[in-house]
């Protein structure tokens, strides 16, 4: 009989579900890391919330562990690479907290608009400062939603019930989906300039970290209010404080902070700031929902092998997994490459299979390619729910198998259609195991994808490569490999550089400023 440990406080019904499905369960909450390490080797499954830290050290001691289930969305407390290396499935419940988090956002907006926390403190202190707390109506105001996925869409719906006008910035929001939500899709700069209240609902990625900084705040209208119930670090707290002190920003409501638990913070003590201790998912209904869901998912996996909402494994059998492993790596890299270069709304995705790969079960390959494509902007996407996420966003996904002969023994081509037009990327396996990029936008470029890379599209003009090398050299950036390709003499050219380390933002901007540069992006794999 499989055995599961519940190490964080979950609904009692979760334990009941495990037992009903034939899984033995122990509930031991509040353990120290040493205590967890000492006993984890006895269990096949570990059910957690946010308190338990599943570190590489814990995983190393988990000799029998097969699955870690997080009741909730965020898995920052789980070392996923370490779990993957040990063959441990990591599951979460990406949709269980959506309504609760959206409702908390609306509560924060209302509290901020009417200064409710400060007014409450004043009144309970025996004061009657009616004239001090002059609020603002929400009716007719413009709400700017940054990230219009599951939670952002619910916030938009609730705000419309308050008769607010909603504009949204989301590179993955299609025009049809925007129309269905009755929101106006805009670019980020337009949102910053027009919104009376800005609320964030995006994951923490390299692209979103610090996105609301001094530069962004300077673009906002005077009197704007900032709300963040998504991830700490999306807002540069020092810059926000300065903007509030200057009077440009009227106030902010924050449920998340760069450092948590936030025992101290530069924004604490400011009357214009409403702060809560990461309460977005903290309702009885949400906690019970995610607890029951994770118990069902883990039981299904342990008893039948069924995989649901896994962050590090697709739905496939053990026999297929071994054979598909190199193809899955190739598909994920192609998706990640395209996703990191896609900054406008996705309309359609086509994944084509030629050669040997066309004879295999390509569904997991399509799922992992979609996951790689969508992950740069969506932290809740995984290999299992990626097709569902694409459907929710009205992204047409097509899978095509060709029986025709091709130049390679196997070939996978990923084509995306965005609001700015189509682009494609193709790859193959060298020696049957080594992924290689062989085509970008119809231009032949042969390259292996490595951790830190620089992608450039430029006009094919003399002197560009020299100027690029000088710019990188002056910045202390070493080039490991350099791959070039061009459509034709004097037309578009592509450079793909393997770097010895990440390129900083300042150097990247210098590359973008070089004559003849059309696009320059830092990529990570």
- The two three-digit tokens of residue 172, written as one number: 């993955």
Q: Is 35 a catalytic residue?
A: no
Residues in the chain, overall count: 525
Using DSSP's 3-state secondary structure scheme, residue 250 falls into: strand
Single out the residue of 339, 79, 377, 369 nearest to residue 205, CA to CA: 377
Beta-carbon contacts of residue 71 (< 8 Å; ≥ 6 apart): 8, 10, 14, 47, 48, 49, 93, 96, 287, 290, 291, 293, 294
Catalytic residue among 49, 225, 278, 393: 278
A 10 A CB-CB count for 498 gives 18
CA 154, distance to chain mean position in Å, is: 18
Q: State the Cα–Cα distance between residues 51 and 410, nearest whole angstrom.
A: 45
Q: What are the backbone angles phi and psi of residue 206, rounded to the nearest 5°?
A: -60, -30
Q: Is 19 a catalytic residue?
A: no
435, 388 contact by CB (below 8 A): no
A 10 A CB-CB count for 10 gives 23
| Strand-pair category, 410-418 with 421-430 | antiparallel
Catalytic residue among 49, 104, 158, 231: 231
Computed on alpha carbons and rounded to an integer, the radius of gyration of the chain in Å comes to 25
Q: State the Cα–Cα distance between residues 246 and 271, nearest whole angstrom.
A: 14
69, 47 contact by CB (below 8 A): yes
Helices (H) and strands (E) in the chain, counts: 17, 22
3-state secondary structure 32-93: CHHHHHHHHHHCCEEEECCCCCECHHHHHHCCCCCEEEECCCCCCCECHHHHHHCCCEEECC
- The two three-digit tokens of residue 330, written as one number: 């190739």
Catalytic residue among 24, 260, 320, 521: 260
Q: State the Cα–Cα distance between residues 420 and 76, nearest whole angstrom.
A: 34
| Strand-pair category, 165-169 with 452-459 | unpaired
Q: Is 260 a catalytic residue?
A: yes
357, 318 contact by CB (below 8 A): no
Catalytic residues: 231, 260, 278
């Amino acid at each position: 009989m499989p055995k599961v440990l519940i190490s964080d406080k979950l609904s009692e019904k979760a334990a009941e579900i495990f037992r009903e499905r034939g899984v033995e369960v122990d509930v031991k909450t509040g353990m120290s890391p040493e205590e967890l390490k000492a006993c984890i080797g006895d269990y096949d499954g570990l059910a957690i919330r946010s308190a338990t830290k599943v570190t590489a050290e814990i995983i190393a001691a988990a000799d029998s562990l097969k699955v870690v289930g997080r009741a909730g969305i965020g898995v920052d407390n789980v070392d996923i690479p370490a779990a993957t290396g040990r063959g441990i499935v990591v599951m979460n419940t990406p949709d269980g907290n959506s309504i609760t988090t959206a409702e908390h956002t609306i509560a924060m907006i209302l509290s901020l608009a009417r200064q409710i926390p400060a007014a409450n403190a004043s009144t309970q202190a025996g004061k009657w400062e009616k004239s001090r707390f002059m609020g603002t109506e929400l009716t007719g105001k413009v709400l700017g939603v940054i990230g219009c996925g599951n939670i952002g869409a619910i916030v938009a719906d609730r705000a419309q019930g308050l008769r607010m006008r909603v504009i949204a910035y989301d590179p993955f929001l299609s025009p049809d989906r925007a129309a269905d939500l009755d929101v106006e899709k805009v670019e980020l700069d337009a949102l910053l300039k027009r919104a009376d209240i800005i609320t964030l609902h995006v994951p923490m990625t390299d692209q979103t970290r610090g996105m609301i900084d001094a530069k962004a705040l300077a673009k906002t209208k005077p009197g704007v209010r900032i709300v963040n119930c998504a991830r700490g670090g999306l807002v540069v707290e020092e810059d926000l404080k300065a903007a509030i002190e200057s009077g440009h920003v009227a106030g902010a409501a924050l449920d998340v902070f760069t450092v948590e638990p936030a025992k101290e913070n530069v924004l604490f003590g400011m009357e214009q700031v409403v702060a809560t201790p990461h309460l977005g998912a903290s309702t009885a209904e949400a906690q019970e929902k995610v607890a029951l869901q994770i118990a069902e998912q883990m039981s299904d996996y342990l008893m039948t092998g069924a995989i649901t909402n896994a962050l590090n494994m697709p739905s496939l059998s053990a026999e297929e997994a071994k054979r598909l492993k190199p193809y899955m790596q190739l598909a994920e890299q192609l998706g990640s490459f395209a996703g990191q270069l896609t900054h406008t709304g996705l309309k359609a995705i086509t994944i084509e299979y030629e050669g040997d790969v066309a004879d295999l079960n390509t569904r997991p390959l399509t799922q992992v390619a979609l996951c790689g494509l969508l992950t740069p902007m969506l932290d809740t996407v995984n290999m299992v729910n990626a097709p569902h996420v694409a459907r929710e966003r009205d992204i047409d996904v097509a899978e095509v198998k060709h029986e025709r002969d091709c130049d390679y023994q196997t070939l996978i081509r990923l084509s995306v259609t965005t609001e700015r037009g189509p682009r494609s990327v193709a790859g193959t396996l060298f020696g049957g195991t080594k992924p290689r990029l062989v085509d970008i936008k119809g231009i032949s470029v042969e390259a292996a994808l490595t951790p830190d890379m620089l992608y450039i599209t430029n006009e094919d003009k003399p002197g560009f490569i020299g100027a690029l090398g000088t710019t990188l050299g002056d910045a202390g950036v070493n080039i490991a490999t350099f791959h070039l390709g061009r459509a034709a003499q004097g037309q578009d050219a592509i450079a793909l550089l393997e770097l010895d380390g990440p390129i900083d933002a300042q150097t990247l901007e210098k590359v973008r400023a070089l004559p003849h540069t059309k696009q320059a992006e830092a990529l990570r794999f």
